Amino acid sequence: MEKTYLYSFAFLLSVSSLISCTSKKSATSEKTGLAYNRPENGGFQVNNKFKRGPGPGLVEIEGGVFVMSGSATDVPGQELKDYNHKRETTVSSFYMDETEVSNTNWLEYLNWIRKTDPTNYEYYYDELPDTLVWRRPLSYNEPYVDNYLRHPAYQDYPVVGVSWEQAQRYCVWRTNIVNESLLREQNYMTSYKDLNGTGNKKGNAAATAAKPTGPFNTDLYLNGQYDDKGTKAMKDFSPAATAANASGKGAKGGATRNVRLEDGIVKQPYRLPTEAEWEYAALGLIGNTNYENISNNKIYPWDGLGISSAKNKTRGLILANFKRTKGDYMGVGGTLNDKGSITVPVRSYVPNDFGLYNMAGNVNEWVADVYRSNTFADADALNPYRGNYYQNKKVADPLTGRLEKDAYNRPIMTAAVSGKKQTWAEKQAAAAKADTLKNSYADQRGFRDEENKLYGEITLVNNKSRVYKGGSWDDQALWLNPATRRFLQQDESTADIGFRCAMTMLGASEIHSVGKPQFKPKQQKPFNAKKK
């Protein structure tokens, strides 16, 4: 069987860079003839050297078509609701964490909270995992209650006891810390060394002036609410900056500005993967595909019908961490099989064909979707997702566009007031009564639910029910199938649910283009090119 093999991370990064620049981009507008990035032409700036790449911890997942729930097997006694409605679905390319978020990763989050807001005990307490999830009335699990999160013996094990809501907040924090680190380490903002007084002494006065008044927030930074420009600050070619330079009032060496979204430097937000993304990534059918022909389907993230390795050196070893029978968690002493009575380190076993570890077993994983039994009978065929709740950032000053922020330096979100772009007059009228409007442009999670007036009150499923997938150390093999799905309330947690993050990939969907036939677009000729 011919397979598509994985490339090294460095090679993938270089390939993705080439993909983003497959055609030579001109520095001149083909529609107006004006050169970009020139102050005399109005200062319109275009990044012609954008290079795409994942954020820390992520690997690239090239999207494509697959049958949602297509890997489902007929298991006697298992209800149909445990699977989705089988449906052909397309998932756009995206990035996904190579591993589950570990205890060390979460302790880094807690340490940041303690360092940046040491007297806010409520904030720290709210982000503590519930270690009491290990307690069971007829089991002796107290050592896990005390040690699992913090003891170095478990530092590389997946964090558990984390609710869906906590996982969401971790994603927001990770986005901000990654973008701040990127901007400071590349000197688009004051470097960490100068900010902490350990760098160039000549730059410390400017660094002191640039000290933030609160935690860094990507949205506020992109909105221009940080006045912190490092030694590599972007040149500002706007008319106002040009006038300031001409009058001698601009920055030394020319006016500068903060990084903008158009520069392509900051990363997209980390988030929980959608259910469709998660299932697609878990299957890893790219390893069984050649010229759009899938050689054989899978029922697990690995090839074959079994749950143990068929290779000579590892023959018989279990390929994931799960419960083989109701009482067998790890095999017989002396020849332990899956090696773990509870969880195991996040880089255990063999990764799937996308390079992802433990997409079956170890811990179940939260995904973004609200649970409904027939979600994919209703959802769109492209990037299906049930969980949209559209919101806008609240504007504190309409004249400057400054965003209102909360006590944690995050933009305050309000319900979206329209499903389309409003006229200017409509926008001003809506702003006056924004606080009284309710979001009615969500994801139909209540579609047909309202026929039962007691829906959510006398049923286990409601608008806070979130999907988790993958099977765990405490599940038997049938739950290792990527098509299976269960739900839990978004503010609850267990000892067998963890999570990993994802990130949207912008631009071309194809990642691995080397050796594949490509159309070569005709290059744009300069506007003033002489005719031959």
- 3-state helix, strand, coil split of the chain in percent (to 5) is 25, 15, 60
Structure confidence by residue, pLDDT tens digits, 418-473: 778 889 888 878 766 655 555 554 566 655 555 555 566 667 888 899 999 999 99
- What does the pLDDT read at residue 22? 40
Instruction: With cut-offs at 50, 70 and 90, classify the pLDDT of residue 81.
Output: low
Show contacts of 5-8: CB within 8 Å, 24+ apart. 5/287, 6/353, 6/354, 6/355, 7/512
Structure confidence by residue, pLDDT tens digits, 171-181: 999 999 999 99
Q: Residue 259 and residue 527: Cα distance in Å, rounded? A: 30
Q: Which of 6-10, 203-207, 357-361, 452-456 has the highest mean pLDDT?
A: 357-361
Is 1 contained in some domain?
no
334: domain range?
58-176+269-388+441-504
Q: Which of 465, 488, 464 is nearest to 160 (CA)?
A: 488
Is 327 contained in some domain?
yes
Q: How much of the chain, in percent, has pLDDT values that exceed 70?
A: 81
Average pLDDT rounded to a whole number, residues 311-319: 89
- What does the pLDDT read at residue 82? 58
- Is 19 a residue whose pLDDT tops 50? no
Better pLDDT: 30 or 59 = 59
Which DSSP symbol is given to 35?
A: B
**For the chain, what is the mean pLDDT?**
84
Is 431 contained in some domain?
no
Residues 20, 23, 28, 31, Cα dihedral to 10°: -100
Continuous segment of H or E residues that includes residue 19: helix 9-20
Structure confidence by residue, pLDDT tens digits, 210-257: 555 789 999 999 999 988 888 888 888 877 777 767 666 655 666 688
Average pLDDT rounded to a whole number, residues 191-200: 76
CATH at 289: 3.90.1580.10
Q: What total number of domains does the chain contain?
A: 1
Is 474 contained in some domain?
yes
Q: Residue 518 and residue 177: Cα distance in Å, rounded? A: 38
Q: Residue 101 and residue 345: Cα distance in Å, rounded? A: 10
Specify the residue for token string 């907040």: 169
Is 296 contained in some domain?
yes
- Of 28-32, 105-109, 354-358, 383-387, which gets the smallest average pLDDT? 28-32
Instruction: With cut-offs at 50, 70 and 90, classify the pLDDT of residue 4.
Output: very low
- What does the pLDDT read at residue 6? 40
Instruction: With cut-offs at 50, 70 and 90, classify the pLDDT of residue 8.
Output: very low
Is 208 contained in some domain?
no
- What does the pLDDT read at residue 527? 63
Q: In this structure, what token pair is assigned to residue 24? A: 């030579």
Instruction: Give φ, ψ of 34 to 5 degrees.
Output: -80, 140
Instruction: With cut-offs at 50, 70 and 90, classify the pLDDT of residue 13.
Output: very low
Is 257 contained in some domain?
no
- What does the pLDDT read at residue 439? 52
Instruction: With cut-offs at 50, 70 and 90, classify the pLDDT of residue 100.
Output: very high
- What does the pLDDT read at residue 195? 83
User: Angle 371-509-1 (CA atoms, 0-180°, nearest 5)?
Assistant: 90
Is 351 contained in some domain?
yes
Pairing, β 497-498 against β 364-370: parallel
